[in-house]
Each structure stands twice: as C-alpha cells, then as structure tokens.
Amino acid sequence: MKALLDAKLPVENITVISNSPKVAGLAVAEARGIQTIVVNHRDYSDRVSFDTALAEKIDGYQPNLIALAGFMRILSDGFVNRYQGRLINIHPSLLPSFPGLKTHASALHEGVKIHGCTVHFVTPKVDYGPIVIQAAVPILPNDTEQTLAARVLQQEHHVYPQAVRWFLEGQLKNIGNRVEISEATTRNTVLYSPGLQE
C-alpha cells in the first residue's frame, strides 16, 4: 500500500479500508491525510455478511479501482463479481504457479530457477484471473524464504504501481482471460525481469 501511495499515481481521491484495526497501513495513510475506514471482519458471523458490509462502504465512494494490498481474506463470489474488471491484486508468485500461501517456500522446495510476483484482475477463483504484469527474479543457490521474499517484495513495489497507473490511464483491456496493454510502448514491459540476464 505504501508503495502505491509513494508512486504519486494520477488519482483524485484515495480511501484506505482495512478489515483489521491494528494494521500499520492505517497509520501510514492517516499520516498522509488519507481517509481510513475499518470494517472489522470479526464483527460479522460469516464471510458473506462481512463482504456485504464491506461492499456498502466501498460503494459509498463509487471507486474506479479497488487495489488489494495485504488483504489476506478470501472474498466471496458475489463480492468479486460486483467489482469485476476494477478489482486487482498482487500475488507473490509467477501465477499460475504457486497460488495460495507459502509461495516462497514452495518455489524453493520445487527447485524452480525463477520466482516473482503477479498483478492480476481478481476473479472468483482464488489467485487466478487475467494477468496485467509480472516480475521475475532469479532464485540464488543460498536463498532462504526470507531472502527470496525480500527480493520479490522489491519487485512488487515496482510492478503494482505500474499496473495501477496503466488502469487509471485507460490502457488495460480484458479480452477473455488476457489483458492487453493499449500502447505499443508498454507491451514490452509486462514482464519485468531484473537480474535474469546477469
């Protein structure tokens, strides 16, 4: 979230909504004068009732885009379908490889040579959906989960703001399960791979 705010994207209004009152991102946003809201999932008996309350808050702002950042809850199909085409997420793997949790441990266990992150439009299927941009990093012989996670996080901070910028500039178009970037100059940057040529 902080990387998105640091990117100074072309937006008029930003609201940060959290499902937990204790996350550090709320303080980061408030320090910048950004409105924050908490819809605590613990106040609701099930996922659908929480998602309904969350959607009511979101709809009050009529957002063009909802960018998930560190939001570690599975959203109901109804919620996802409500915001289809304007709900995006970043996942710490090169999807469709390693969906779910513990992606860095899985990459190391499987012995793959590259790992990374993916920005994608959210669909009811978890960690799936049209891919906007990916960043790949090499897996080094002495990598641990922590060192690999740190290297991937650096690239998350690079590609997520880029994806949001493309969306806000109207450059993204969903065609089936593919995303096309409208300007030819950006098509060569949908896979960012620092260090792979070294």
Are 38 and 16 in contact by the 8 Å Cβ rule? The answer is no
Residue type, 55: A
The pLDDT value recorded for residue 182 is 82
Are 135 and 116 in contact by the 8 Å Cβ rule? The answer is yes
Q: Which residue has the tokens 């690239």?
A: 155
Q: pLDDT tens, position by position, for the chain (198 residues)?
A: 999 999 999 999 999 999 999 999 999 999 999 999 999 999 999 999 999 999 999 999 999 999 999 888 999 999 999 999 999 999 999 999 999 999 999 999 999 999 999 999 999 999 999 999 999 999 999 999 999 999 999 999 999 999 999 999 999 998 888 999 886 455 557 777 766 544
Going 8 to 121 to 112 to 189, the CA torsion angle's sign is negative
Q: What H or E segment, with its residue span, contains residue 55?
A: helix 47-59
Which SS3 state, helix, strand or coil, does residue 65 take?
coil
Are 131 and 155 in contact by the 8 Å Cβ rule? The answer is no
The pLDDT value recorded for residue 194 is 66
Catalytic site residue from 91, 104, 115, 120: 91
Are 17 and 36 in contact by the 8 Å Cβ rule? The answer is yes
Instruction: Report the C-alpha gap between 89 and 68 in whole angstroms.
Output: 5
The pLDDT value recorded for residue 176 is 85
Structural domains present in the chain: 2-192 (3.40.50.170)
Instruction: Report the C-alpha gap between 142 and 190 in whole angstroms.
Output: 28
The pLDDT value recorded for residue 188 is 52
The pLDDT value recorded for residue 193 is 73
Closest CA to 62 of 86, 38, 90, 92: 86
Q: Which residue has the tokens 């991102």?
A: 25
Neighbours of 152 (CB within 10 A): 21
* DSSP state letters, 73-97: SPPPHHHHHHTTTSEEEEESS-TTS
Q: Examine the residue annotation and report whether 91 is marked as an active-site residue of this protein.
A: yes
Are 2 and 14 in contact by the 8 Å Cβ rule? The answer is no
The pLDDT value recorded for residue 195 is 61
